[in-house]
Structure formats: C-alpha cells, structure tokens
C-alpha cells in the first residue's frame, strides 16, 4: 500500500491550549478528534503543505512552526505518514472553515478525547516539553536542591532523579525529601527496579532493564506518571516501542565531557534512528539548549541533558 504523507498540526495558543477538530462522520477515521491537517500534494514542500491545509481547514496563516513528531502507521485500509508540526504563531481566528467542530483544550485534557489509533504518540508529544533534565550525581544535597530551584526558574519541568552514587535505600530516602520539597512543581521520573508508587511520578528504564523486561513484560504499574527508557541503537528503540513506553532518550549523539573518546552517533544516524520509531525521542549526549533547533530538524522531541541543562 502506498503510504500517504499527511501534514498535521499541534497548534498551541498563548494560553498553552491546543486546537483539536472533529473529523466528519463519513471520512476515514470519521467521528474521531484529530489534529488539523491533510494530504501533502505532489511537489509541495512540507511547510507549504502545512500552511495550505491550516488556511483551508481553519482560516489561519501560520507564522511560526517547527517539526514535532513524524510517525508511520498502517491502518487495515490505509498507510499514513503523519508529519506533525508544532505551530506556535499564526494570524487569524481559528474556526472550522469546513463546518467541522473545533475546540481548544489544555494538554492534560487531551486524554479525554477519542483520536485515531495512530495519534497516541502525537498526544504524548503534545504534552511533553522540549527539555528533559537528568540530575547530575551530587553528594551535596543542598547544592542539588539549589540546582533544582534554578532549574525551575529556567523553565524546565521534566526531571529524572538520577543519583548513581546512592544505594537503593539512600535513593529512596532522598526521593521522599525531593518530592516533599518540589512535589508537583516538576514531572518526575525515578530510576529503580520497581515502578514508583507515588501518584503522577514516572519510571525511567535503563537499556538493561529494557532487555530484561523485553522477555518478561512490564510489571504492573500503580503510578500514573511517564514511562521512559534509555536507548542507544535500533534494537533498543524497537524494544521500547514494543513495551509501550511513552518516550525514550537516544544517546550518545555527540561526544560528552564525561566520555570524550566515545564517538557518538552523530546527527545523521540519530535522525535515521528517530525515523524508525513512533515515539517522542529526546537526544542525549553533548546536548545544550543551543542544539534544540538541530534536534527538532532531526525529528526529535527535544534534548535531554545532565550538565548541559543543570
């Protein structure tokens, strides 16, 4: 089946809400909610196709957009490539120019709407931020907490508590103190052999855990937070996708101060690997905020970093 290239948009307004539209009952995947967009025409470039579709369907002129997530999905009757961009600037009042119902919803409410099966990773990408901080190992708890306060000021909201110098019991005790102090000001992910039991707190799997769980399946999770995994190659990305994680990190992209001799995947290989998985991917290894636009161009959700973001 020939794959249809579709341009679609996660449109975000100044209040942080996202626009969704209802597909006509008689259309493919009819009656479900969607991110506005449509088929790219022959010889049309991606940005032009996106602008044309949003003008036709919503009556808006896009002024600011960049790639968000690019996925391939095979329906029984149709194969699609959903090339989804994040639109953060536009002129005009968005309305259902083809008579379709549209509404602005908070990212956290997207889960209350029914989308086509292909859309699950798009919804996750719409809810996830551009930067994912992994805490550097710090023996000085005061300095760690001060760094986290600074992280909040820098606008970072997604954080993995990684403290490899600590034994399991100490890590648990630190987790309690961190959650007591910062609680819901961050979206947390924890490390460990069991899924965290704190409501809303996520779990970040190591590549080794991915391989182990690949044969046994995931343990039941009581937590409602994100499920993420560390990947380094095509095999691990594919395992992560099979296990149904919400997002992954892919590393190392560039040599890092801690591993100056490790070559890194490089941008080209990273881009090809991102294209092989239908999940939001954070690039890790030698990343800093100045690299964000390169990461978006490679198809990434954004960047993850230890020293580069702390």
Ligand X SMILES: Nc1nc2c([nH]c(=O)n2[C@@H]2O[C@H](COP(=O)(O)OP(=O)(O)OP(=O)(O)O)[C@@H](O)[C@H]2O)c(=O)[nH]1
Please indicate if the annotation marks 99 as binding a ligand: no
Total interface residues for ligand X by CB under 6 A: 16
Any contact of residue 127 with ligand X (CB under 6 A)? no
CB of 75 to ligand X, least distance (A): 7
Radius of gyration for the alpha carbons in the chain, expressed in angstroms and rounded = 20
Segment 60 to 79, residues that bind ligand X, using CB under 6 A? 78
Question: Angle between the 141-153 and 168-182 helix axes, to the nearest 10 degrees?
Answer: 40
Residue 38 phi/psi, 5-degree rounding, is 180, -170
CB of 26 to ligand X, least distance (A): 10
Any contact of residue 119 with ligand X (CB under 6 A)? yes
User: What sections of 22-67 are H helices per DSSP?
Assistant: 46-58
CB of 79 to ligand X, least distance (A): 9
Beta strand pairing call for 78-91 and 3-11:
parallel
Using CB under 5 A, list all residues that contact Mg ion. 38
Query: Cα separation of 12 and 114, whole Å?
Result: 19
CB of 57 to Mg ion, least distance (A): 6
Strand intervals (E) in 2-155: 3-11, 18-22, 33-34, 37-39, 61-75, 78-91, 102-105, 131-134
Query: Cα separation of 287 and 303, whole Å?
Result: 6
CB of 301 to ligand X, least distance (A): 17
Residue 110 binds what, of Mg ion, ligand X, none (CB under 5 to 8 Å, by partner type)?
none
CB closer to ligand X out of 105 and 218: 105
Please indicate if the annotation marks 36 as binding a ligand: yes
CB closer to ligand X out of 116 and 305: 116
Secondary structure letter of residue 1 according to DSSP:
-
User: What sections of the chain are H helices per DSSP?
Assistant: 46-58, 120-127, 141-153, 168-182, 207-216, 234-243, 266-274, 292-297
Which window, 32-40, 165-173, 176-184, 230-238, contacts ligand X (CB under 6 A)? Answer: 32-40
> Among 10, 71, 80, 284, which residue sits at the site for ligand X (rule: CB under 6 A)?
80
Any contact of residue 28 with ligand X (CB under 6 A)? yes
Q: What is the residue-wise DSSP string for 189-213? A: EE-SSS---STT-EEEE-HHHHHHH
Please indicate if the annotation marks 115 as binding a ligand: no
Residue stretches of the annotated binding site: 23, 28, 34-37, 57, 119
Residue stretches of the annotated binding site for 8-oxo-dGTP: 23, 28, 34-37, 119
Interface residues toward ligand X, by CB under 6 A: 6, 8, 27-29, 34-35, 37-39, 78, 80, 82, 116, 118-119
Residue stretches of the annotated binding site for Mg(2+): 37, 57
């Amino acid at each position: 089946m020939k794959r249809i290239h579709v341009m679609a948009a996660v449109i975000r307004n100044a209040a942080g809400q996202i626009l969704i539209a209802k597909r006509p009952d008689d259309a493919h995947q009819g009656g479900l909610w969607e991110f506005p967009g449509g088929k790219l025409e022959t010889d049309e470039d991606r940005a032009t196709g996106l602008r044309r579709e949003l003008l036709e369907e919503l009556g808006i002129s896009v002024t600011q957009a960049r790639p968000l997530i690019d996925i391939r999905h095979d329906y029984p009757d149709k194969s699609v490539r959903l090339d989804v961009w994040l639109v953060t600037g536009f002129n005009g009042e968005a309305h259902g120019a083809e008579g379709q119902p549209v509404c602005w919803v908070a990212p956290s409410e997207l889960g209350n709407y029914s989308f086509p099966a292909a859309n699950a990773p798009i919804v996750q990408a719409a809810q996830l931020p551009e930067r994912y901080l992994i805490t550097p190992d710090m023996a000085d708890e005061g300095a760690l907490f001060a760094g986290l306060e600074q992280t909040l000021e820098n606008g970072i909201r997604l954080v993995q508590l990684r403290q490899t110098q600590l034994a399991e019991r100490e890590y648990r005790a630190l987790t309690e103190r961190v959650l007591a102090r910062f609680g819901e000001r961050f979206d947390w992910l924890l490390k460990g052999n069991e899924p965290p039991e704190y409501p809303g707190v996520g779990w970040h799997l190591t590549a080794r855990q991915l391989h182990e769980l690949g044969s046994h399946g995931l343990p039941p999770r009581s937590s409602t937070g994100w499920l993420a995994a560390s990947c380094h190659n095509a095999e691990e990305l594919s395992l992560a996708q099979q296990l149904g994680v919400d997002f992954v990190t892919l590393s190392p992209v560039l040599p890092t101060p801690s591993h100056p001799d490790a070559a890194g995947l490089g941008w080209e290989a990273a881009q090809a690997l991102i294209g092989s998985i239908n999940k939001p991917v954070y690039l890790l290894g030698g990343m800093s905020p100045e690299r964000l636009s390169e990461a978006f161009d490679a198809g990434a959700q954004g960047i993850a970093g230890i020293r580069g973001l702390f």
